[in-house]
A = this chain, B = another copy of it.
Amino acid sequence: MSDKVRLAPVGLGRWARVLANGVKRGDVIDFVSCYSRDEKKRDVFCEEYGISRSASTYEELLADDEVEGIIVTTPNDTHRPLIIQALEAGKAVYTDKPIAHTLEDGVAIAAAVEATGRPFAVGHSARRLAGSRLMKQWIDDGTLGEVSLAEANFSNERGLELTPNDWRFYNDKAPGGTMIQLGVHHADNLNYLLGDAKAVSAHARTLYSDAEVPTAVMAIVEFESGALGYIGCGWASPGIYTINLQGTKQNLRYDLDFTHWDEGDKADEYSSLESQGFGESERTPVELGRTDMFREQLEEFALSIRGEAKIEVGAREAVRALAVVKASIVSSERKGLAVDLEEVIDAAGAGAVVG
Chain A contacts to B: CB under 8 angstroms = 146, 148-149, 151, 153, 155, 157, 160, 201-203, 205, 207-208, 215-218, 220, 222, 226-228, 230, 232, 234, 236-238, 240, 244, 246-248, 250-251, 257, 259-260, 270, 276-281, 331, 334-338
Contacts and interface: CB of A to CB of B under 8 A. Distances in A.
A148 B336 contact: no
Contacts of A280: 238
A128 B228 CA distance: 30
A218 B220 contact: yes
A195 to B, nearest CB: 14
Contact of A338 (B151, B215, B336): B336
Query: Top 9 A-B pairs ranked by shortest CB distance?
Result: A201-B336, A237-B246, A257-B281, A336-B338, A335-B338, A148-B236, A148-B216, A148-B207, A337-B337
12 contacts: A148-B237, A203-B338, A205-B228, A236-B248, A237-B248, A238-B278, A238-B279, A238-B280, A240-B246, A257-B281, A270-B281, A336-B337
A153 B149 CA distance: 10
A271 to B, nearest CB: 11
Contact of A148 (B215, B248, B250): B215
A338 B338 CA distance: 10
A348 to B, nearest CB: 21
Contacts of A226: 205, 207
Given A207-B148, A336-B220, A230 B228 contact: no
